[in-house]
Structure 1
Amino acid sequence: MIGQRLEVRQGQGLVITPQLQQAIKLLQLSNQELDEYVDAELEKNPLLQREEAEGTPDEGREAPADATELSFSDAEAPDRSSTVDAREDDVYGDATPGERTSDRLSDEAAEQPGLSDWSAAGKGGSFNDGDGGERPDRHDPTLWEHLQAQASTAGFSTTDHAIALSLIDGVDDGGYMRGELAEIADRLGCDLARVEAVLAICQGFEPTGVMARSVPECLKLQLIERNRFDPAMAIMLDNLELLARRNLVALRAACGVDAEDLADMISELKALTPRPGAGFAGEVAQTVIPDVHVRPDPAGGWRVELNTDTLPRLLVDKRYHATVSAAARSETEKAFVADCAAQANWLVKSLDQRAKTILKVGSEIVRQQDAFLAFGVEFLRPLNLKTVADAIGMHESTVSRVTSNKYVSTPRGVFELKFFFTAAIQATDGGATHSAEAVRHRIKSMIDHEGRDGDVLSDDRIVEILKEAGIDIARRTVAKYREALRIPSSVERRRLLKTG
């Protein structure tokens, strides 16, 4: 039987206000994206004013006390480690109940469907304050973006991925790697041989010939891919100056070929691309601007500071607000002025809270990964979002949001904050865990030194050795790490050892 009836139900729900959506959005934006967003808000809201970089605000312009100064270099941090600078912002431990409730609501709101992907408004995108349906502008990937995407799917370990990103940063518009390998190795604190090994893998990326260090090497990579690199071609690449001068007699003599073969070889060279990166989007890849700076402290440890050079500083123009409020006559005009004032105050407070949250998360990451800063990339510690969230009293979703699209400048280079989160492997005695990257490095080291005694280590034997060292690891995990390092199986390595 179909009928109608009236029921009263009681339940709990979370109302996502526009201001809460705005706070979630701001937290995930990089400084560059934030500046674009603030420019758009300045266009819409006449009560907002950008504070000048130097000088004091005009009389009549007021901002919340926490928002008028965004220099955190002299703030204090909880005394949790002797390696981190003791002068971080201690305001986070003194949050009011209202602030903690607001933070919790923001965390819960971010987990609701449709609200967590504010990062979709990525580089070059615009934002819609209405239903959030406006999508970022589409653009062809740059060479830098194309190489980064390939590095992310190449199966690199954490260490090798960091090396690959540093190498990619040294690629010019033509596709050539202009960075000095020795300088990169020294900056990252790793062996030059490891940097060279990562470069060899990166030179297998598309387009063929990319990340070569010279024209002959670029052409060599393309010839190898076409299976056309032979001793005669190798000699020709070593004597390209003869080809440039059209000294074909000397070139033919050097290569040891006749005139017909030489003509074929020249035709093959003409079919190659001396600038493999030229086919990508003409726009220059945007330089990454760090959101946080980490510097050695003369007193010991590390200083963690916000990059205030790119941080927008806004004020609410109270004088103009009073003027337009007095001039407003209709209810519509009064409502518009009141809405502008509320939005302006909320934005200023949200920007201040965003800055404090980024500094708080960045400081804890530095505290956890101080060994990397001091000794190099092989000393990354196991770290996950929950560890950082628990240490600073925030939700994991907030930490995840803060570390998206945020970069930190360190003495070892510029890294995304997410770079510092690495997996952990349990110790056999139940004690301290081991970084997955450190275990991968140990596996590679063991295999690099095998064969000297005629013994090739199987995956099972590697598991036994690691367990003897206190590392509890499964055989399938060893195999996964070995394959990620592009190391053949023990059967293939034994065969290569015999043939070599």
Structure 2
Amino acid sequence: MKSFTSLHQRQQQSLVITPQLIESIRMLQLAHTELNQFVEQEIEKNPFLDLASNDSGASGDVSPTVADNQNISAREDHVDGPARTDMPELSSPWKSIRDTGNLSPGERPSLDEFAASTETLHEHVAHQIALTAFTPQERLIAGALADHLDDTGYLQVNLLELAERLNSPEARVKLVLEALQLFDPPGIFARSLTECLEIQLRQRDRFDPAMAALVANLELLARRDFRALKRRCRVDEDDLLDMLNEIRALDPKPGNQFQSAGSESIIPDVFVLPSPGGGWQVELNREVLPKVLINQTYFAQVTRLTAQSSKDQSFLNECFQNASWLVRSLDQRATTILKVATEIVRHQDVFLEDGIAHLRPLNLKTIADAIDMHESTVSRVTSNKYILTPRGVFELKYFFTVAIPSSQGGDAHSAEAVRHQIRAIIAAETLDDVLSDDGIVARLKETGVDIARRTVAKYREAMNIPSSAQRRREKRFVLAAAEG
């Protein structure tokens, strides 16, 4: 048997994911703040990229394919017939965004820049330690305890281990801790919720034996077992109701008022407005989109100066190609967001008109098939993107919910709409008509929702709604206290 070798030539196709394609896919998932940071990093690395400014209208500095995009939107009309979407071509307009007017809203100075800096919890505690008559050793212990204070005001440290580390008796550490627990805000330096409430009640001179018994049995309060609480505290219903009101007036997380990070407002990526001709008009929020320009004039000038160096010319060509890729990727990202948001609005138009009870079930595949894209693309686009509607601001993923079958053979119901119905049914209960989970199932079937009892229980627990027995006890207690 002879062995031999031979050469064969054949053609085959394969999909190769380039680094730029990976970056383009990642850009779809970025929120607008993350996207702006990414663009700023690219501008720092690329000499041919720049952010558009109000005086960037000189045609010589901008690519001739770049145009204004002031009025780009998608509009959807649905009057007595199927929905119609008129989607303009966005390939070139998104390459440049030039603002009109003397000063754009994004460039105006923010009032936050002139606001006084907020004092943090640790700074507030440090000032009080400095004004307290501690010995040097006690001041050292107080500083070590303050270092283990979390943002909510609770102490997260083992006193015995801290005493050994500071080479100090544990009794002295406890004495310093008792002094620190008198600091402002009341309840600070507590090691548990029970101790936090106790500190605040002692400062109000309200920590009597009955209140001590109530604080020691917070698990009964969480279960709304008022009968057991009356027995443990040895008080009647009126006294227990007064004690509960005092507990509600306390702050379980006293350090939260000193949180250094301010509240973050959600800036929508898409606007939905009623269209004058009926239906809805979908527009991108151009204020959150990066305003990127390609400086072709500078590229031409630098290319002429470095024409003799092939290495420099290769670098310049690579930079220009990367700049063009970034502009195209931003263009594609904006177009894709607009397409997905428009299709979501088309499916959820009844929700926009009539509210959450009319939210329709929706999945990624439905949107992907409608706009001829892959489900993974739709998933990336809807992550960390928000839409402003007449019903409020929602994350795009909010509109994708599980379908609950109808008991009357009609259209399926959205899981979010069913949860809304459960909340409404429970909110309308009276003492004589507290429904069990089976009763809620029966009430839902009357409205055409076919759902299992365990699903009702799962939704109820996810919304932190107690069981029917606990709700009945609470209503009975509140009613008795009101009548008394």
Instruction: Sort the TM-score into its range (normalised by shorter chain).
Output: 0.5 to 0.7
Instruction: Supply the RMSD in Å over aligned alpha carbons.
Output: 4.4
Alpha-carbon separation, structure 1, partners of 2:253 and 2:459:
36
Contact 2:273 2:389 in 1 (8 A): yes
Alpha-carbon separation, structure 2, partners of 1:279 and 1:483:
32
Contact 1:84 1:303 in 2 (8 A): no
What residue number does 1:399 align with?
378
Cα distance, 1:174–1:385 mapped onto 2, change above 3 Å: farther
Alpha-carbon separation, structure 1, partners of 2:205 and 2:279:
52
**What is the identity, as a one-letter code, of the residue corresponding to 2:445?**
K
Cα distance, 1:88–1:72 mapped onto 2, change above 3 Å: farther
After TM superposition, give the deviation of residue 490 of structure 1 in Å.
3.9
- Taking the TM superposition and a 5 Å limit, the aligned residue runs for 1:43-442 are 43-53=44-54, 56-59=57-60, 61-62=62-63, 64=65, 68-73=67-72, 75-77=73-75, 88-91=86-89, 207=152, 226=197, 275-278=254-257, 280=259, 282-326=260-304, 327-442=306-421
What residue number does 2:28 align with?
27
Cα distance, 1:63–1:276 mapped onto 2, change above 3 Å: farther
What residue number does 2:445 align with?
467
Cα distance, 1:335–1:481 mapped onto 2, change above 3 Å: same
After TM superposition, give the deviation of residue 341 of structure 1 in Å.
1.5
Using CA pairs below 8 Å that are at least 6 residues apart, which structure has the higher relative contact order? 1
Cα distance, 1:295–1:235 mapped onto 2, change above 3 Å: farther
Deviation per CA, 1:378-407, whole angstroms, max 9, x where unpaired?
A: 443322222222222221111111111222
Alpha-carbon separation, structure 2, partners of 1:497 and 1:51:
61
Gaps of 5+ in 1: 95-171, 176-205, 210-214, 237-267
Moved more, 443-452 or 37-46: 443-452
Contact 1:208 1:225 in 2 (8 A): no
**What is the identity, as a one-letter code, of the residue corresponding to 1:36?**
Q
Deviation per CA, 1:314-340, whole angstroms, max 9, x where unpaired?
A: 232222222222223232112111111
Cα distance, 1:81–1:460 mapped onto 2, change above 3 Å: same
Alpha-carbon separation, structure 2, partners of 1:462 and 1:288:
35
After TM superposition, give the deviation of residue 432 of structure 1 in Å.
0.8
Cα distance, 1:354–1:72 mapped onto 2, change above 3 Å: farther
Q: TM-score, normalized by length of structure 1?
A: 0.57
**What is the identity, as a one-letter code, of the residue corresponding to 2:274?**
P
Moved more, 47-56 or 15-24: 47-56
1:484 aligns with 2:484: no
Tell me, what secondary structure is at the counterpart of 1:402?
helix
1:39 aligns with 2:40: yes
Alpha-carbon separation, structure 1, partners of 2:263 and 2:320:
38
Contact 2:187 2:200 in 1 (8 A): no
**What is the identity, as a one-letter code, of the residue corresponding to 1:381?**
R
Tell me, what secondary structure is at the counterpart of 1:300?
coil
After TM superposition, give the deviation of residue 348 of structure 1 in Å.
0.9
Contact 2:273 2:280 in 1 (8 A): yes
Alpha-carbon separation, structure 1, partners of 2:423 and 2:408:
23
Contact 2:76 2:342 in 1 (8 A): no
Deviation per CA, 1:23-67, whole angstroms, max 9, x where unpaired?
A: 112212222222222221112111223333466342263154xx5
Select which of 457, 466, 481 maps to 2:435: 457
For the pair shown, the structure with the greater C-alpha radius of gyration is: 2
Cα distance, 1:448–1:323 mapped onto 2, change above 3 Å: closer
- The number of aligned residues is 345
Tell me, what secondary structure is at the counterpart of 1:290?
coil
Alpha-carbon separation, structure 2, partners of 1:368 and 1:22:
30
Cα distance, 1:375–1:288 mapped onto 2, change above 3 Å: same
Moved more, 367-376 or 435-444: 367-376
Deviation per CA, 1:327-373, whole angstroms, max 9, x where unpaired?
A: 23232112111111211111111111111111111222223333443
Cα distance, 1:40–1:398 mapped onto 2, change above 3 Å: same
Contact 1:83 1:300 in 2 (8 A): no
Alpha-carbon separation, structure 2, partners of 1:7 and 1:285:
68
Alpha-carbon separation, structure 2, partners of 1:491 and 1:273:
27
Contact 1:378 1:441 in 2 (8 A): yes
What residue number does 2:132 align with?
none
After TM superposition, give the deviation of residue 231 of structure 1 in Å.
13
**What is the identity, as a one-letter code, of the residue corresponding to 1:357?**
T
After TM superposition, give the deviation of residue 225 of structure 1 in Å.
7.0
Contact 1:70 1:352 in 2 (8 A): no
Deviation per CA, 1:127-146, whole angstroms, max 9, x where unpaired?
A: xxxxxxxxxxxxxxxxxxxx
Contact 1:32 1:289 in 2 (8 A): no
Alpha-carbon separation, structure 1, partners of 2:277 and 2:202:
59
Alpha-carbon separation, structure 1, partners of 2:153 and 2:201:
18
Contact 1:382 1:423 in 2 (8 A): yes
After TM superposition, give the deviation of residue 22 of structure 1 in Å.
1.9
**What is the identity, as a one-letter code, of the residue corresponding to 1:479?**
A
**What is the identity, as a one-letter code, of the residue corresponding to 1:313?**
K
Tell me, what secondary structure is at the counterpart of 2:441?
helix
**What is the identity, as a one-letter code, of the residue corresponding to 2:404?**
I
Tell me, what secondary structure is at the counterpart of 2:271?
strand
Identical residues among aligned pairs (%): 46
After TM superposition, give the deviation of residue 287 of structure 1 in Å.
3.5
**What is the identity, as a one-letter code, of the residue corresponding to 1:419?**
Y
Alpha-carbon separation, structure 2, partners of 1:217 and 1:388:
53
